[in-house]
Amino acid sequence: MTLKDAIKSSIDLHHPPQAVWDAITTPEGLNQWFGDRVFSTFKVGDPITFEWDKYGTVSGTIETHEPITCFAYRWRAHGVPEETLMDKANSTLVTFKLTPTPQGTQLDVIETGFLQLAPELRNVSFRENSSGWKSELDELVALFTR
Amino acid sequence: MPPSPSTQSLFLALADHTRRQLIETLANEGEKSATELAAIFPITRQGISKHLRILLDANLVQVRQQGRDKLYHLQPEQLREATAWINNIQSQWDRRLQTLSTYLDKTNKE
């Protein structure tokens, strides 16, 4: 049995760290695989906003920006308004870590702080919408095979 | 949909590092008395008892009397809701990274 305050997801990519870094820290890159529209200067302390046509907007703040090694932002739980001051009861921390490998890059994503979230913010409807993510993937494949 | 009162007490019970460690210990080592738990944890028996009371109220643990001891054991059913929720977030990130991988493969071929 596992009881976790954090999740970690990893993937081995056959691409150099710079290409992966550009895909996770530029609006052009993120718009292609993460959000419909992502806005940020990507400077530490500045806001970042993710917009999805189907799910709405989730916003946060850049916490770490160390080129080609580590990128992190804290974002509000789904449904928390953009102006709301973030704390541990209404937000989680997402950290991307890039490690060079002989084949390319190992990318680790760690999201922490779930068990500190206020109970009323544990809205699973956005989080568990697997069909939504599946259709996004289909759209992406269609884009590149057009 | 707001969580039910029982769900609220469940998540509040889980929102504490020591209580999560108590749950892990009961999960890994089975039944324990408050005294046994106090010997493992760097807090007093009174502190352990306070945490166990919160876990009892959330139905995360149950207690039974054996001789002079009260033995506490885990109620794993109550954890299903919390673990299912975390697992959903895990699989969502797994899917996102697969999408990223597909995107990188496509753009670098062009």
Interface contact flag, A33 B100, Cβ < 8 Å: yes
The stretch B73-93 carries a mean pLDDT of: 78
Q: Edge to edge, what strands does the sheet with A91-100 contain?
A: A6-13, A105-112, A91-100, A70-76, A56-66, A47-52, A37-40
Instruction: Note the pTM of the prediction, 2 decimals.
Output: 0.68
DSSP string, B28-64: HH--EEHHHHHHHSSS-HHHHHHHHHHHHHTTSEEEE
Mutate to test the interface with B, among A94, A97, A114, A134 (most CBs of B within 10 A): A114
Q: Which residues pair with A109 in a beta bridge?
A: A9, A96
Q: State yes or no: pLDDT of A121 exceeds 90.
A: no
Q: Please give the ipTM for the structure prediction.
A: 0.74
Q: What is the pLDDT of residue A70?
A: 98
The percent of chain A in helix, strand and coil, each rounded to the nearest 5, is: 30, 35, 35
Nearest to A11 among B8, B23, B97 (CB): B97
**Tens-place pLDDT, residues B3-57:** 445 566 777 787 788 888 898 888 888 899 999 999 999 999 999 999 999 999 8
